[in-house]
Amino acid sequence: MRDVAVVSFAQSKSVRADPVRNEVEILMPVIQDAVANSGIPSKEIGFTCSGSADYLAGQPFAFVYGLEAIGAWPPVRESHVEADGAWALYEAWVLLQEGEIDSALVYGFGKSSPGSLRDVLTRQLDPYYLAPLWPDAISLAALQARALLETTEHTERELAEVAARSRRDAVANPNAQLTGDADPEALLKEPYIASPLRKHDCAPISDGAAAVVLAAGDLARKVSKRPAWIRGIDHRVEPHYPGVRDLARSPSTRAAAEKAGALSGPIDVAELYAPFTSQELILRDALGLAKPNGTKINPSGGALAANPMMAAGLIRIGEAATRVSSGEANRALAHATSGPCLQQNLVCVLEGE
């Protein structure tokens, strides 16, 4: 495997609704920051790959306008995934393995504010048998949370603790949207919005964007004092129908973590893309982090503090890499998810030199 590292990361501040700026206008400063901080001249970056979803913007080819934000002239080597930017990073990492290029710009962006996100996401379901029922994203996550509570030792109190911890940690994150002190006991007195989920169990709805610059081998060492090396990265998908899965468990996360080599040593920091508190517990169980001995879970506050769709997974990789590059962590795990009830999962292991 060729050594490839995250050498730069930038993100916008997540907000509930940015009524003024369109996606390109949100993206431009983020991309400029990421490229400027990488120390690699933008014209020398070998490949660009982005992640977004047309259904958020409610228009076809929404990603085309992203190209205007990178100034693709002269023409660039470029690709796009209809998924979170974490999968765009994966595509770029695959290309970097061939050795022909030494750097790549990856970005992900999404404005959820134009529509009703929980309804928009129902369009992600089997169009013949599931989507006509309009099971919204929160109701599906509630089914999953119920399965978790009924078939494991986990409790509603743990859910509230995850929410409280996420908001508390997010106070130190200037890009977070939902921050502050919360008492789990008080949270448990809140009403359900879809039993057993309360409002604090659900990620906020966000507009935002993120960008990462990858560099290989010597170039990474040249431009970064402490590159965050990708020691392993893998992604796996599960069956689509919630009814044929054990929703309380995430075998695809486990498989991706094994392939990425995540389980072979201690993890200092884990950034998990869990838009619901219950999903964090499921992911931690899959990753052997149920009792995080020495592992700091979501120090950024995670998706429960800021959840710009199609960027939030890439942000997990960026946040984990930042902690490796700063020396705060030596070995970090980043996770991204896609689809209903954690259907698809990606695990990335980052290490210092």
Partner 1 sequence: MERTAVVGIGQTKHDTAREDVSIAGLVREAATRALDDANMDWADIDAVVVGKAPDMFEGVMMPELYLADALGATGKPLLRVHTAGSVGGSTAVVAAHHVASGLYERVLTVAFEKQSESNAMWALAPKIPFQPTLVAGAGGYFAPHIREYIRRAKAPDHIGIEVAVKDRVNGMKNPYAHLRIPDISFEKVASSPMLWDPIRFLECCPSSDGACAMVLTNSTHATNGKHAPAWVRGTAVRSEPLGMAGRDEVNPRAGRDCAADVYAQAGVTDPRSQIDLAEIYVPFSWFEPMWLENLGFAPEGTGWQLTDEGVTALDGDLPINPSGGVLSSNPIGASGMLRFAEAAMQVRGQAGEHQVDGARLALGHAYGGGSQFFAMWIVSSERP
Residue numbers at the binding site for partner 1 (CB under 8 A): 22, 53-55, 58-61, 63-65, 67-68, 71-83, 87, 90-91, 94-95, 97-100, 120-121, 123-128, 130-131, 234-241, 251-252, 255, 338-340, 343-344
- For residue 107, the minimal CB distance to partner 1 (Å) is 14
Which CB, 99 or 327, lies closer to partner 1? 99
Q: And the tokens for 24?
A: 């390109």
Which CB, 117 or 163, lies closer to partner 1? 117
Which CB, 165 or 236, lies closer to partner 1? 236
3-state secondary structure of 51: strand
Output the CA angle 332-334-337, nearest 5 degrees: 165
Sign of the torsion formed by the C-alpha atoms of 186, 189, 190 and 193: positive
Q: For residue 282, what is the enclosing H or E element?
A: helix 277-286
- For residue 11, the minimal CB distance to partner 1 (Å) is 22
- For residue 345, the minimal CB distance to partner 1 (Å) is 11
Which CB, 50 or 325, lies closer to partner 1? 50
Q: And the tokens for 262?
A: 């995540």
- For residue 61, the minimal CB distance to partner 1 (Å) is 6
Which CB, 34 or 256, lies closer to partner 1? 256
Give the residues across from 49 on adjacent strands.
Answer: 79, 106
Report in angstroms the alpha-carbon separations of 315 from 157, 240, 334: 27, 25, 9
- For residue 346, the minimal CB distance to partner 1 (Å) is 9
Phi, psi of 50 (to 5 degrees): -130, 160
Q: CA-to-CA distance for 220 and 229, rounded, in angstroms?
A: 9
Q: And the tokens for 263?
A: 């389980």
Which CB, 23 or 169, lies closer to partner 1? 23
- In this structure, are residues 335 and 271 in contact, taking their beta carbons and an 8 Å threshold? yes
Q: And the tokens for 204?
A: 């906020």
- For residue 309, the minimal CB distance to partner 1 (Å) is 11
Q: CA-to-CA distance for 105 and 1, rounded, in angstroms?
A: 20
Q: How far is CA 199 from the centre of its chain?
A: 20
Q: CA-to-CA distance for 235 and 257, rounded, in angstroms?
A: 8
- For residue 80, the minimal CB distance to partner 1 (Å) is 5
- For residue 223, the minimal CB distance to partner 1 (Å) is 23
Which CB, 77 or 221, lies closer to partner 1? 77
3-state secondary structure of 329: coil
- For residue 127, the minimal CB distance to partner 1 (Å) is 5
Report the largest interatomic distance among the alpha carbons of the chain, rounded to a whole angstrom.
Answer: 58
* 10 conformational bin, left if phi > 0, alpha if psi -120 to 50, beta if neither: beta
Phi, psi of 33 (to 5 degrees): -60, -50
Which CB, 76 or 188, lies closer to partner 1? 76
- For residue 241, the minimal CB distance to partner 1 (Å) is 8
Q: CA-to-CA distance for 166 and 161, rounded, in angstroms?
A: 8
Which CB, 48 or 322, lies closer to partner 1? 48
* 327 conformational bin, left if phi > 0, alpha if psi -120 to 50, beta if neither: left
Which CB, 109 or 159, lies closer to partner 1? 109
